C-alpha cells in the first residue's frame, strides 16, 4: 500500500485501488488522462497510468479505458487509435480500440472482453457534456463497467462526466498513479512558514491565473508572474499590452487578477524592463528591450522580461539557506529563442539547496530541467494551493456511499 499522503489528513485520504481485491472477470472502467497531442511526441501521461491498467488486466479484470484529448468546443478532439496502438506495446497485449463510448455497440464491446482484456473507447471530449459534467453522459459512460478506477491526475481539478460524474454512478477507487502524484507534490503543497518559497507562473492557460495566482499568492512568499499571467498583472495595473498573449477568457482573468493583487500575501514581482517583439501570426521579429512605462507599441508583444534586483537578491538568499520553488508554465517564449528569464530562473532552480519542481506537460517538455516534474498542470496548482482536488472530494463522497456491486 502507498504510504499515507502526508498533506492529507488520514480521514480524508481516498481509498486506493491497491487495497481493492480484483475479482476475475469483473468489469472495470479506468478513467485516464492521456490527453496526448497529435504525433504522440510526449507520452508521459500514458506511461504514468500503464501500471494501474496492467494490474487490473493481470488480475483478470475486463478493462474499459476512457480518456480525453483536445477540446469539443474548438474541434481539437481527435480519435485515439494511435493511443491504443501505443498502449498495446506498453502492456504487451492487444488493446482494442472502440471509437464509440456511449452506444449499444460500445457496451457490447465492453461486455465481450475476455478476462484480462483491455479496450480503449472513444475520446470523451467528442461529447459537449463531458466538460460540463452532464450526469446523463456520465450514466452512459457508466454502462461500460461495474466499478471505476480514477486516474487522470491531469484533469483531477476538473469535474467532468468521465471522472467525478462516473463516481456518482459507480463505486470508485483512486488509481495508484493519482496517489503517486499527490505524494510527489506534497513537499510543495500548502503554506510552510518554516521554509522560504517562490512560485513562477507562466504559460497561457487561464488556470495559471484563476487557480495558481489566486492560491499561491496566499501560501508562497514570492510569486513571479510570467507569460499570460504577467500580461494580466500589467493590464490590471493599467498598462496596455498590445499583442501580448492573454489566453482564453482575458477579461475574466484580468478582473480576477485585480482582485487577487489587492489581497495577496506574497510579494509579487512586476518587471520594469521587458523584451518585446513584433507579432506576425505565430512568429516574432524586431525584438527590443523597453521599460514597461514606455508602453507596448501597437503590433508588439511581450516575449521575455528581466528580473528586478530585489528579486535576484532574494533568490540568492533563498538559495543559500534552502527553499522550495515551483515553476508552472514556461516563463518566456523559450522555444522561439527568448530565453533570458527562463534560463535565469532555471539556473537558480537547479541550485543544490533549492527544492524545485516543474509543473505542466508543456513546461516539462519545453524546458531543460533535471529535477522533479509533474505533468499535472492545473491539477497540481490546485492541489498545491488547496491541498485538495474535486476528484479527491468525489472519491471520499463515493467511499461513504453504500453501493451494491454486481
Question: Tens digits of per-residue pLDDT, 313-372?
Answer: 999 999 999 999 999 999 999 999 999 999 999 999 999 999 999 988 788 888 899 999
- Residues 303 and 395 occupy one common structural domain: no
**Residues 297 and 324 both lie in one domain:** yes
Q: Quick one: what percent of the chain has pLDDT higher than 70?
A: 96
Q: Is this model's pTM higher than 0.85 or not?
A: yes
pLDDT at 2: 36
Do 275 and 337 share a structural domain?
yes
Q: Would 290 be classed as within a structural domain? A: yes
| pLDDT tens figures, 175-192 | 999 999 999 999 999 999
- For residue 158, which of 228, 214, 210 has the smallest C-alpha distance? 210
Domain around 266: 190-386
Q: Are residues 210 and 312 in the same domain?
A: yes
Count up the domains in the chain and report the number.
2
CATH (domain of 366): 3.40.50.1260
264 — alpha (psi -120 to 50), left (phi > 0) or beta? beta
Domain presence at residue 152: yes
- Shared domain check, 279 and 214: yes
Tell me the C-alpha distance between 135 and 164, whole Å.
Answer: 10
My answer on whether 103 and 77 are in the same domain is yes
Residues 163 and 280 in one domain: no
pLDDT in tens, 88-108: 999 999 999 999 999 999 999
> Would 3 be classed as within a structural domain?
no
| One domain, residues 308 and 216 | yes
In-domain check, residue 5 = no
For position 405, what pLDDT does the model report?
59
Q: Is residue 49 part of a domain?
A: yes
How far apart are the C-alpha atoms of 308 and 319, rounded to whole Å? 17
Answer yes or no: is 405 within a domain: no
Are 173 and 299 within one domain?
Answer: no
pLDDT at 3: 40
Query: Based on the domain organization, do 172 and 91 belong to the same domain?
Result: yes
CA pair distance 59, 23, nearest whole angstrom: 7
Residue 88 and residue 61 in one domain: yes
Contact between residue 107 and residue 140 where contact means Cβ atoms under 8 Å apart? no
Amino acid at each position: 500500500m502507498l504510504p499515507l499522503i502526508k498533506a492529507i489528513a488520514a480521514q480524508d485520504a481516498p481509498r486506493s485501488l491497491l487495497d481493492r481485491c480484483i475479482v476475475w472477470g469483473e468489469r472495470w472502467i479506468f478513467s485516464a488522462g492521456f490527453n496526448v497531442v497529435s504525433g504522440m511526441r510526449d507520452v508521459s501521461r500514458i506511461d504514468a497510468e500503464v501500471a494501474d491498467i496492467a494490474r487490473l488486466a493481470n488480475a483478470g479484470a475486463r478493462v474499459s479505458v476512457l480518456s480525453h484529448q483536445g477540446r469539443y468546443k474548438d474541434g481539437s478532439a481527435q480519435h485515439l487509435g494511435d493511443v491504443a496502438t501505443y498502449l498495446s506495446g506498453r502492456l504487451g497485449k492487444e488493446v482494442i480500440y472502440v471509437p464509440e463510448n456511449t452506444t449499444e455497440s460500445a457496451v457490447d464491446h465492453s461486455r465481450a472482453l475476455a478476462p484480462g482484456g483491455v479496450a480503449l473507447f472513444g475520446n470523451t471530449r467528442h461529447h459537449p457534456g463531458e466538460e460540463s459534467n452532464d450526469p446523463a453522459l456520465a450514466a452512459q459512460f457508466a454502462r461500460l463497467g461495474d466499478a471505476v478506477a480514477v486516474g487522470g491526475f491531469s484533469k483531477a481539478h476538473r469535474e467532468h462526466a468521465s471522472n467525478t460524474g462516473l463516481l456518482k454512478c459507480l463505486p470508485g477507487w483512486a488509481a495508484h498513479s493519482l496517489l503517486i502524484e499527490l505524494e510527489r507534490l506534497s513537499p510543495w503543497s500548502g503554506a510552510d512558514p518554516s521554509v522560504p518559497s517562490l512560485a513562477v507562473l507562466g504559460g497561457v492557460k487561464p488556470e495559471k491565473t484563476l487557480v495558481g495566482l489566486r492560491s499561491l499568492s496566499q501560501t508562497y512568499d514570492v510569486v513571479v508572474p510570467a507569460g499570460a499571467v504577467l500580461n494580466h498583472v500589467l493590464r490590471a495595473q493599467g498598462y496596455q499590452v498590445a499583442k501580448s498573449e492573454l489566453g482564453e477568457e482575458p477579461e475574466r482573468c484580468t478582473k480576477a487578477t485585480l482582485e487577487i493583487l489587492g489581497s495577496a500575501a506574497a510579494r509579487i514581482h512586476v518587471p520594469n524592463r521587458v523584451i518585446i517583439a513584433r507579432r506576425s501570426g505565430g512568429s516574432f521579429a524586431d525584438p527590443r528591450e523597453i521599460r514597461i512605462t514606455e508602453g507596448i507599441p501597437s503590433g508588439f508583444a511581450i516575449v521575455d522580461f528581466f528580473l528586478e534586483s530585489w528579486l535576484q537578491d532574494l533568490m540568492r538568499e533563498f538559495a543559500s539557506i534552502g527553499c522550495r520553488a515551483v515553476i508552472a508554465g514556461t516563463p518566456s517564449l523559450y522555444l522561439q529563442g527568448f530565453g533570458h528569464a527562463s534560463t535565469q530562473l532555471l539556473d537558480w532552480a537547479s541550485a543544490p539547496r533549492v527544492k524545485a519542481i516543474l509543473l505542466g506537460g508543456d513546461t516539462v517538455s519545453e524546458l531543460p530541467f533535471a529535477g522533479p516534474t509533474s505533468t499535472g498542470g492545473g491539477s497540481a496548482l490546485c492541489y498545491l494551493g488547496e491541498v485538495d482536488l474535486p476528484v479527491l472530494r468525489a472519491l471520499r463522497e463515493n467511499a461513504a456511499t453504500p453501493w451494491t456491486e454486481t
